[in-house]
Amino acid sequence: MRATLLGAAIALVAGVAVAMPASAANPIITSVYTADPAPLVVGNTMYVYAGRDEAASGQQNFLMREWRVLSSTDAASWTDHGAKANIGTFRWVGADAWASEVEPRNGKYYWYTSVNGNGPGWMDIGVAVGDSPLGPFADAKGGPLISDSTPNSSGLNIDPTVFTDDDGQAYLYWGSYWGARAAKLKPNMIELDGPVVTPQGLANFWEAPFMFKRNGLYYMIYAANDTNGCVTSSSYACQRYATATSPMGPWTHRGVVLGQVSSTTNHAGVVQFNGQWYMVYHNAQAPGGGNFRRSVAVDLLHFNADGTMQRVVQTVAGPPPNPGGSGNVALTATASTSYVSPWENLAAVNNGATPTSSADRSNLVYGNWPEQGTQWLEYTWPSARSINRTAVYWFDDDQGIDLPASCRLQYWTGSAYADLPGQFATAANTFNTITFPTVSTTRLRLNITAKTGLSTGVLEWQAFAA
């Protein structure tokens, strides 16, 4: 088994490392090699948990002994907190600190890890626990959660992903060598709650599952290595994804969300942070990098209106800074409207996008065609926000939706809507900003009046805390 995985990686080690400028934003850290990233948002911080590749230059296998934590408050600049767990965290473990993921519950943080547990077989899944996203972490169980002795376990028990649903039920997925597995976890997060099952529908699954939920739909991204639209050689891997209406599946395969990367292995995670979706993955792009000297990168992930994911564009620049909650309170508002076209999406208005033009359809779009006259868009917050500035990027599809004739801004006084001074500009291809004396309100409303015979649309509507 081991020879198969390593052989695949070895076959293409030569020549794939491409040195990138040290100032590049991707990879997000170049002082050490990092791999198998798993993102987690806590408060205003995105954490990335990653293994460390310690293989010497030219070494043809993994040397991995610790897991590090990186963090960011804008998804663009990163802090390396160093190793927060290592193979010594688990007394029963001898080597191979492979892919891991952290899941919070009841104020604790459970770190699920792939490890060589010195028992029968090769890899196991362990779990450590800490009181904060940065630990300190200690073994939560004193032995493997999953091993080769676990009935119906995977051919290679690595790459855990844990997802907790809205009802509090947690699910563990894992596996490699085309053997995806799933089980429920008990509320203590360190014991299985029922049998290990083989999930259905994860087409071409190879390894590295990562599960999340968006708009009531469950998503599983995972590494595949087929040459049928995934990779040019099965030594490499892409990220395919599937969706399901139930956390245990069955899953429906949806396509490729991340193409081949420059390392043979491909391991990724998805997270929403300050209203924007991100994919965190690894490649071999750091100076001196390679298949066993990998590095973590972050790029934007965009959803289509029907919930499918667009293929991630791998960039050197990385995503633009997104300080989110430090300014744009729209990201935490609930949006409502007098009308949205069924094929467009109200979520577009506060998903944190930065449009490139008024015709930009690369992110979600709000439009109210064929409605005419005055339509409203509103933000609601559960408690009052102090706001003194707002900005709108208008949508113009050069068909039924055009820039508006005018737009009036109102806020909720607690008993009625009141006008805020000034009229919005209606310029294309830019944020139209309006400032006003600070109001403390739970609702902000745009009354958008269309040009005769036309409808209106919005790509992004921001509101800033005073």
What b/e readout covers 294-303, taking b as 16+ CB neighbours within 10 angstroms?
bbbbbbbbbb
Residue 436 Cβ vs ligand FUB, minimum distance, rounded to whole Å: 51
Rounded distance between C-alpha atoms, residue 156 and residue 177, angstroms: 6
Exposed / middle / buried, residue 167 (Cβ in 10 Å: 0-12, 13-18, 19+): exposed
Residue 223 Cβ vs ligand FUB, minimum distance, rounded to whole Å: 6
Residue 173 Cβ vs ligand FUB, minimum distance, rounded to whole Å: 13
Residue 417 Cβ vs ligand FUB, minimum distance, rounded to whole Å: 53
Q: Which is nearer to ligand FUB, 34 or 368 (CB)?
A: 34
Q: Which is nearer to ligand FUB, 147 or 322 (CB)?
A: 147
- Which pairing describes strands 45-53 and 108-116: parallel, antiparallel, or unpaired? unpaired
Closest C-alpha among 464, 293, 288 to residue 388: 464
- Residue carrying structure tokens 């907790």: 164
Q: Which is nearer to ligand FUB, 35 or 297 (CB)?
A: 35
Q: Which is nearer to ligand FUB, 44 or 234 (CB)?
A: 234
Q: Which is nearer to ligand FUB, 199 or 457 (CB)?
A: 199
Six token digits for residue 83: 């190793």
Q: Which is nearer to ligand FUB, 219 or 366 (CB)?
A: 219
Q: Which residues pair with 116 in a beta bridge?
A: 95, 123
Q: Return the number of other C-beta atoms located less than 10 Å from residue 331's C-beta.
A: 19
CA-atom Rg of the chain in angstroms: 24
Residue 355 Cβ vs ligand FUB, minimum distance, rounded to whole Å: 35
Q: Which is nearer to ligand FUB, 68 or 267 (CB)?
A: 267
* Binding positions for ligand FUB, rule: CB under 6 A: 35-36, 51, 62, 98-99, 114, 158-159, 207-208, 265, 267
CB 100 within 8 A of CB 67: yes
Q: Which is nearer to ligand FUB, 279 or 330 (CB)?
A: 279
Residue 9 Cβ vs ligand FUB, minimum distance, rounded to whole Å: 8
Rounded distance between C-alpha atoms, residue 42 and residue 44, angstroms: 6
Q: Which residues pair with 33 in a beta bridge?
A: 53
CA dihedral over 219, 72, 292, 231, signed as positive or negative? positive
Residue 431 Cβ vs ligand FUB, minimum distance, rounded to whole Å: 40
Six token digits for residue 176: 């490699």
CB 416 within 8 A of CB 388: no
Closest C-alpha among 63, 55, 145, 64 to residue 97: 64
Residue 393 Cβ vs ligand FUB, minimum distance, rounded to whole Å: 38
Six token digits for residue 244: 């399901």
Residue 412 Cβ vs ligand FUB, minimum distance, rounded to whole Å: 50
Rounded distance between C-alpha atoms, residue 3 and residue 6, angstroms: 5
Q: Which is nearer to ligand FUB, 278 or 281 (CB)?
A: 281
